[in-house]
Every structure is written in structure tokens, then in C-alpha cells.
Chains A and B, each alone.
Chain A
């Protein structure tokens, strides 16, 4: 399966630490202070947190988040003490608990049952100061409803965020989280999702800018027949540290998960981390699961860490697989293109675009795709590629 010229390394299917044993709590004091000695913070450049790990931080003001609704979708700020908050999941780490504790309000976005919303809903958060702030968003999609929601993070700021996504039975949601921060920004986002019976979530993470961006999307597949597609695209330059840790918890029978993250890195100091955890519990009979991460290093001095972890507690599954690879340009591909007269730079661009295309095409929202393609072009320009 590995592409030519890229080294694929198969990891043994030995769990590092059983994912299910990680504590869950909304209380900050239940989590130890951050340290690179803990696996979950192992790669994080602590100096870039800029106070996001302080117990007391500010809160995003409602005016900083602009909302463009579609169809019958509603959005309202509710008190975070409302019982719905926490029903899609609970924090598994300290910054998530900090964000939880410090966000007194929660933006509740609701798609009524049985509604099919054609146009995407856009939630655009624009921060303009380097002060640590908390944000909590709850997305609820009613039974058999269908919608697309784009959460966009732009400007310059410091954000600790929890996003909860709850799909009722038969619901379908395409959710895109874009991190396109200006330099100087840091963002830690925990995205907790729970899928009802036969619901389908497409969760897309697009990371393009920010000194530190850490997104941890997790899904609890505890109702039968649910399906999640988790896609990620990222383009990191020498200013960026991007960390993505998707986690799929297969609990119920006959669920499907497919995780595919692809990234391109350019410039000395560019650093990306991908840790993909898939846990298939004893009860998750008939599971079908695949996870993949590929990184293309466009220049020297960039570093991509890629760690797939697959824990399987039952043999009665449809399939489970993973692949992870990071490498430089494939010389054979470049040679083939150049042998047809295509210049070195153009050939490299074709290869990078093609490489990312596989995931970009999955986004399926033309506004987002166009922006992504423009960012890729810009990034290539910067890389002198």
C-alpha cells in the first residue's frame, strides 16, 4: 500500500496504555499539570501554550463568534450548567477541563429532527488579542436530520476549546473545523462526538496556521450501525506546530470508522504530530475500521511524527487496519512528470496537490475546498516549490 519512495512502517498492535483507562472529568484538579513526560503532552512545545494551561482563563465573548445559519438550524448561548452539556463526552485532559470550567456559556447549535439543510452553517471565531480564552460549543443534530457545519478559527488569539457533537439516530452531519490562525496564536481543541444508531458523521480537520494547534477529535461509537469518517488535511510551515490525535472508540456492534489524515510540511522547524488511537472493544462485534496518516516533507528540517495505535479486544470484526508513512518527494513520480516536459517546480506542485487531493476532495464543501486549494498554492509558493 505504501507509495513509492515513502517508507511505510508497520507498528505492532501492542497498546501503549489502554485508552479506555484514561480518566474523564470536568474537574481540573483531576488532571496532573502538563509535562512532556506524559504521553499525551509528549511532543507539545510547552513555551507555546502562552497561559492556556492556567486554571483561570478568560472566555470568548459572543461578539467574537459570528454565526451564519441555514434553513431551520438554530443557535443560542445557554448556560454551561444546562444538562445537555457533557452529553457527548467529557474531558480527558487538563486543558479540556480548563476550557470546560472557564466557559460559563455554551453555544448550542441545533438541527431539528427530520430536516435536511442544504446550505452549510458557518461559525466563524475571530480573535484579535493574545489573551487565553475558553469556548464551548455544542452541536446537536436531531434524528434523521442532515446538515453541514463549518467551524472556522481565524485571527490571532489563544483558545482552549471544547466542541461537543451529538448525532441522534439516523442523523447525518458533515462537520469541518478549520484552524487558520495568524502567527502567534495557540489553540487547543478537544472535539467530543457521540453517534446515535445508524448516524453518520464526517468530521474534517483542516489546520493551516497557528504557532500551536492541537486538535483531539474523539468519537464514542456506542450505538450500533453508526459510521464516522474522520479526515484531516494540514499544511505546516516553519512557524507551525500542529498536533492531531483522532480517537475512535468502538463500543457497539457493526460500526464503521475510517480515519485519513494527510499533511505537507515545509521549512526548518515545521513540526506535525499525528497520534491515531483506535480501540475496538470486546462488545464491538462486526467493526470495520481503518486509519491512515501520510506526511510529505517538502524541505529539509521539517519533522512529522506519526503514531497509529490499534487496540483490538475482539476477533469478531470485519476488518481493522492502519498505515502510516512520512517521506520526501517520490523521485520516480517527479521523473515521470518531468520526462514529459513538466518543469521541476510544476512537477512538485502536481505531486503535492495530488497527494493532498485525496483528502481535500472528501471535504465536499466548495467554499472550504477553494480556500484549501488557495492555501496549498500559497504554501507551495512560500516553500519555493
Chain B
């Protein structure tokens, strides 16, 4: 059982015009096996929350806490957070020229486990996971995310999720840019990870479509840097029908 606790999180970024506050007191608890959907308008700070949990150096936490099983995540370096069991599937995965997918994945697995995976087993796992995600085996020899289509990048993120076996995963718009089939394939990947490892999921999305495949236990409405309302799956349906107007009005 793992528990990710976010308490009163305030985060700013440095901009050319000075410090800009983006998160204004986020409270959230995600436990193993649970799926939390976060929905909210563009620019409300969803990715900022995701990056802050993963430890991106651009984001400065000015107040509040992030705890994983009581441990202070904010004191951990980026790689330590991953080692502690956190995973971020990025909205815009980064290209790493000259580094092959296979080298990257093996290096990551070795770093997480503290020892190199047994070659045979590893190759089997890799092949199997790629097959499940309908990824061409040639991808292992390509450079990380270089020249990948939008959908391929997202599959590659979920491939990592399945191979690296984190405790809590944040999926930042993994569904954006996926066609109908890819959405299904990717959702199956997430559900497999949930089943096999009891993964806790924080799923950031704009669409209820993915929620038909990955059923959320909780839905949070994210507005202006914090959670404006929480509810069950039915809240997602209402948001899709009504939009965010009512929240924005009360904000203003």
C-alpha cells in the first residue's frame, strides 16, 4: 500500500516578468489501487502539479507538502522520487538525441532496481510489453522520442509505466492526440499495471472518453491552481455537459 499526500501545495515559476504563482493550495490524497481523474480548463495548473510532484527544477514549491508514505518527497532529487515509486507520463515527452530506447529503458530499469535486469527476462518483458501496446519492435533501436508521432510518444510513456512498475503514476493528458484504437490500447496498458501492481493513478484529462476505459474512483475539478470540487465518476459527465463556467464565475 502506498499513499501520496499533497497538502496545501503552493507552487510558482520564474518568468521574465518575475515570479508567477500557479498552484494555490492543492490538497489531494492518492492511494494504491485508486484512480483519481483531474479535469480542468487550460492553464489551470494541472501540468504544473504533475511536474511539481516529479520534481521539475523549473517549479518552486513555496508552501505545503508532498508526502509518499509519510516520506518528504520535496527533499528528494528527481531520480530519488522515481526510485521511491513515483512516475510521470508527460504531456510532452522529451526527445533525447543519440540515446536509443533500448539503452534508455535498460538504464532506467537498472537504476531503479539497483542492478541490471537479467538479460533474457528483460528482453522477454520488453518484447511482451511492446506487443501489448502494439508498438513495432524497431522502436527499441530508435532514439528516445525522436521523430515519434504524438501517439507513439504516449505509447512509449505507457511502455515505461509497465516496465518500470511504479507505485503511483501521474498521467498528464496521456489520452490527448490518441486515435480510438490507440486510446484503447493505452488504457489497457494502464489497467494492466493497476491489476498487476496495484498502481495508484492520477489521471489528468480533458475528456471523459478515456474514463470509460480507465474508470476513476474520484474526479477532481481543477481551477485556478487548486481543486474546486470533488466527486465520483458522475462529476466528469456533468463537466463534459456543462463545462467549467460555474467554477470560473465563482472564482471571478
What is A's interface to B at a CB cutoff of 8 Å? 3-4, 331-333, 335-344, 346-347, 350-351, 353-358
Q: Is the CB of B88 within 8 A of A354?
A: no
* Given known A342-B111, A346-B111, A350-B104, contact A336–B96 (CB-CB < 8 A): yes
Shortest Cβ distance from residue A353 to the other chain B in the assembled complex, whole angstroms: 7
Contact B98 A335 (CB under 8 A): no
Name B164's contact: one of A3, A341, A355, A358 (CB within 8 Å): A341
22 A/B residue pairs, CB under 8 Å, sorted by A: A331-B58, A335-B56, A336-B90, A336-B144, A337-B96, A337-B107, A337-B108, A339-B54, A339-B78, A339-B90, A340-B111, A340-B112, A340-B164, A341-B108, A341-B112, A342-B79, A343-B79, A344-B79, A351-B99, A354-B97, A354-B99, A357-B98
B48 nearest CB across to chain A (Å): 14
Take A353-B99, A355-B97 as given contacts and tell me if A337 and B104 are in contact as well, using a CB distance cutoff of 8 Å: yes
Q: Does A350 lie within 8 Å of B99, measured CB to CB?
A: yes
Query: Would you call B164 and A336 a contact (CB within 8 A)?
Result: no
CB distance from B53 to the nearest CB of A (A): 10
Task: Tell me which residues across on chain B come within 8 A of A331, comparing CB atoms.
Answer: 57-58
Whole-angstrom distance between the Cβ of B101 and the nearest chain A Cβ: 12
Residues of chain A within 8 A of B87, CB atoms compared = 339
Tell me the minimal C-beta distance from A202 to chain B in angstroms.
19
- Let me know if B143 is at the binding interface, CB within 8 A: yes
A341 to B108, CA, bound (A): 6
Please tell me if the beta carbons of B143 and A354 are within 8 angstroms of each other in the complex: yes
- When the two chains form their complex, are residues B94 and A342 in contact, meaning their CB atoms are under 8 A apart? no
CA distance A332 to B94 in the complex (A): 7
- Given A338-B79, A341-B112: A351 touches B96 (CB 8 Å cut-off): yes
Are B94 and A340 in touch, CB under 8 angstroms? no
Write out the residue numbers on chain B whose beta carbons fall within 8 Å of the beta carbon of A341.
Answer: 79, 82-83, 108, 111-112, 164
Contact B107 A342 (CB under 8 A): yes
Asked, given contacts A339-B54, A344-B77, whether A333 binds B94 with beta carbons under 8 Å apart, the answer is yes
- Residues on B with C-beta less than 8 A from A336 are 90, 93-94, 96, 144
Interface residue from B58, B77, B108 paired with A340 (Cβ < 8 Å): B108
Q: How far is the CA of A357 from the CA of B99 in the complex (A)?
A: 8
Chain B residues numbered 73-109 whose CB sits less than 8 Å from any CB in chain A: 77-79, 81-83, 87-88, 90, 93-99, 103-104, 107-108
Assess whether A350 is in contact with B82, with CB atoms less than 8 Å apart.
no
Determine the chain A residues whose CB is within 8 A of the CB of B112 once the complex forms: 340-341
Further pairs besides A339-B54, A350-B104: 9, Cβ < 8 Å: A335-B78, A336-B144, A339-B78, A339-B82, A341-B111, A344-B77, A350-B103, A351-B99, A354-B97
Q: In the complex, what's the smallest C-beta–C-beta distance from A365 to chain B, in angstroms?
A: 19
Residues of B within 8 A of A (CB): 54-58, 77-79, 81-83, 87-88, 90, 93-99, 103-104, 107-108, 111-112, 143-144, 160, 164
In the bound assembly, the distance between CA atoms of A357 and B143 in angstroms comes to 11
Bound form: Cα–Cα A267–B171 in Å: 39
B55 contacts across to A, CB distance below 8 A: 339
- Min CB distance A308 to B, Å, is 20
Q: Which residues of B contact A350 (CB under 8 A)?
A: 96, 99, 103-104, 107
Could you tell me the distance between the alpha carbons of A354 and B99 in the complex, rounded to whole angstroms? 5
Docked Cα-Cα span, A255 to B93, in Å, equals 39
**In the bound complex, what is the Cα–Cα distance between A352 and B12 (angstroms)?**
31
Q: How far is the CB of B206 from chain A (nearest CB, A)?
A: 23
Contact B107 A333 (CB under 8 A): no
A337 to chain B, nearest CB (A): 7
Q: Would you give the shortest CB distance from A86 to chain B, in whole angstroms?
A: 40
> What is the CB-to-nearest-CB distance from B119 to chain A, in angstroms, rounded to a whole number?
19
Q: Which residues of B contact A351 (CB under 8 A)?
A: 96, 99
- Residues on B with C-beta less than 8 A from A353 are 98-99
Cα of A355 to Cα of B56 in the assembled complex, Å: 22
B99 to chain A: which residues have CB within 8 Å?
350-351, 353-354, 357
Given the interface pairs A340-B160, A340-B164, A350-B107, the reply to whether A333 lies near B96 with Cβ below 8 Å is yes
CB distance from B60 to the nearest CB of A (A): 14
- Which of chain A's residues has its CB closest to B163's CB? A340
Bound CA span A351–B103, Å? 12
Query: Which of A336, A339, A354, A357 is the most central at the interface, judged by chain B CB atoms within 10 Å of its CB?
Result: A339
A334 to chain B, nearest CB (A): 8
For the complex formed, measure the closest distance between the CB of A191 and the CB atoms of chain B, giving whole angstroms: 27
Minimum CB–CB distance from A356 to chain B (whole Å) comes to 7
CB neighbours of B88 from chain A (8 A):
339
- Give 5 closest A-B pairs by Cβ, nearest first: A354-B98, A357-B98, A341-B82, A338-B78, A340-B108
Nearest residue (CB) in B for A353 is B98
In the complex, which residues of chain A have a beta carbon less than 8 angstroms from the beta carbon of B90?
336, 339
Chain B nearest Cβ from A330, distance in angstroms? 8
Q: B79 — which chain A residues lie within 8 A by C-beta?
A: 338-344, 347
Chain A residues positioned under 8 Å from B144 (CB to CB): 336
Cα–Cα distance between A344 and B99 once the two chains are bound (Å): 16
Please tell me if the beta carbons of B82 and A338 are within 8 angstroms of each other in the complex. Answer: yes
* A343 in contact with B96 (CB, 8 Å): no
Q: How far is the CA of A323 from the CA of B122 in the complex (A)?
A: 40
- Measured between alpha carbons, how far is A357 from B141 in the docked complex, in Å? 13
Q: Which residues of A contact B93 (CB under 8 A)?
A: 336
Report B-chain residues with C-beta under 8 Å of the C-beta of A335. 54, 56-57, 78, 94
Q: Contact check: which of A340, A354, A356, A358 meets B82 at CB < 8 Å?
A: A340
